[in-house]
Chains A and B, each alone.
Chain A
């Protein structure tokens, strides 16, 4: 087994950047923070590719099966002899794939931000947070211990919080940051309890050992976890479902998705990195990481399937109605992650039946590139117009040729048009769904058509529709998407498509959105490590591709030129449209629960009771003591006659007691 220890440097370099920029950034690296951070991440990216080459092509495969290699493991916190939190580095196909995804996308975002965030007052802080996020995400990927996952899970959560709240003086950004953290924290509570259940019955927190113990139907651990039950479900189901709850929170699955659209308050490159390509797929990764255990429990897998499919559909419907371009993309992300989730849910572990697993990972991979491209493209547009609203856009194709081309490629990719990347991965998912569950297949197909519709609605509204505004920037300048952008905007160059650092990532990612679909993914990443033969079936592809094209044409007829067709369509759907526009009132439901139930019916009564009942009781004790002492202090009057009276009274009482009562 060769040495993979150098992989440790991949997360450690961004960590070092974070520490240096966090401590000294404001003072010494106010201008150079971007370059330092990008250079450090470039090194990480190169190391990731080196690792991928070594693993996939040199020595990862033994007897035709990719091995799980533990490159490093040491005990960080011992709970009891077998149960401990270990810190370590795992090298296996999905980990290596995620390394590539995270470092590449993060690198693109780092480069893009050099232009996008230029002139920000807290430029160094921005890069420090970005590095912290990258470190945490890489740590999460490489985790060998389920508690290690949880720790980095929390760290990506807090980095996300810091970055969403980057414009900290903007109340809406602060609210969004809080919401994202609290909703995912709630989900993480489930994750934590899930971990405790697995740790208790599995007798270990080590992922490899857990899988080993809980996947053989004869092992004592498996027998104990399946025989113990609570409310009619076995502890295995409980543990896995609760862990999935954590995953659903991070991956914005219904009903824990409400934070994701609001998270768009963060700077757009951040959305591209965290809320499109990496952190939000952590939930998918978590299920994939524990997939052998999930595959032992039908119920848990079904929950994954239906939550995923429902989220995919719901988000796609909402996406058709939103007008903020980043929110459309956010719902689109949620919908695509739903795809990945149900693909995992319908999969089996190993062999031909593991197609869903492979397809899910493939889609995760391709999605990362085209979705981050969409966000960065949107970022370019927002950078120029200082607005997120569709109504402020239109006809930009001439003003921003590169962004236009890149965005179009990404739209085609997500719509699943061959030969773009999304086509290949989506086909695999649809194939798997078709074989396993026809209902899910139907939902997936319908969602795919909706996806094409809303993506091209977005595309036409931004780049076609109206004539280009003559002076794009001045028209909507008050909509400045942040207060930090200042003098630099007077640069003529800034009002074009932005700096070359902003264009280059678009071009690279567009190339990926075209190219990565051709990677023979099933050769590398499968549920059991052995290569899987797949092929694109032309006949099977006709239905989804045709549906997508129809949806695109429909979208073109609605939005390519300004017309009233879309208004008519809105009128047809009526109440349903309004409900979708209002995101089906899920936010309102949460607000109702927190503002009308938790605060007034739990928080306030407790706070009141503490002051009035509990403390009141203590005060009562004190005042009673005082009263009693006032009442009886007359007894010690100093008058001898009184004392004589008490004395004889006492003698009398005792005499009566001894003579008549005790005898």
Chain B
């Protein structure tokens, strides 16, 4: 792999690990299931995601 591919791979990994890429997937999924409804904006999606996170705490180990 050359430097550019490495950079892309690292960026891909970080975006996946942090959940930043979730929005893209969500939109894609949304279009598939509700082709006529407008896709939520990033802001709307993040609000939704935060609300979910609020009630689903994830434990961190020692």
On whether the two chains bind one another, the answer is no
A contact set with B: CB distance below 8 Å? none
